[in-house]
């Protein structure tokens, strides 16, 4: 069973930076797709970014392009989300998720395994 554990969430001032980590275990293959999602209070879950470990291809939602960078360490089966120039509207619980297949997507329906989430709060 695939397990995902997020870490790195914190309270930060607007304009600051944070690095989220997602440690994965239980994969039965070397390659994987992991995505980051977030849910802000009173809002729908939103796909933020995703990465394919096989070719390094990435996706970003428009609101984070140029500010967030996703990366992976295949040896550690870990994925990171470097967040810079944070805004109060980035405040949310951030989740990492993994697919059973290799489809690179920002749609939650394509993801099969989910972590517990880590809180990111950006103060103005």
Cβ neighbours of 98 (radius 10 Å):
23
Look at residue 93 in the predicted model and tell me its pLDDT.
98
| CA distances, 123 to each of 39, 61, 86, 88, 116 (Å) | 17, 22, 9, 6, 23
Q: What is the mean pLDDT of residues 98-119?
A: 95
Look at residue 24 in the predicted model and tell me its pLDDT.
95
Q: What is the pLDDT of residues 54-103, one digit of tens each?
A: 999 999 999 999 999 999 999 999 999 999 999 999 999 999 999 988 89
Q: What is the pLDDT of residues 33-49, one digit of tens each?
A: 999 999 999 999 999 99
Look at residue 29 in the predicted model and tell me its pLDDT.
82
């Amino acid at each position: 069973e695939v397990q995902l554990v997020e870490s790195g969430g914190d309270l930060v001032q607007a304009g600051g930076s944070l690095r989220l980590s997602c440690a994965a275990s239980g994969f039965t293959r070397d390659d994987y797709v992991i995505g980051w999602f977030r849910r802000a209070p009173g809002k729908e879950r939103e796909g933020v970014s995703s990465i394919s470990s096989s070719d390094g291809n990435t996706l970003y939602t428009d609101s984070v392009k140029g500010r967030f960078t996703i990366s992976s360490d295949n040896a550690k089966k870990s994925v990171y989300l470097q967040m810079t120039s944070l805004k109060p509207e980035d405040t949310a619980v951030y989740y990492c998720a993994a697919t059973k297949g290799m489809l690179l997507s920002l749609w939650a329906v394509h993801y099969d395994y989910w972590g517990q989430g880590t809180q990111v709060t950006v103060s103005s």
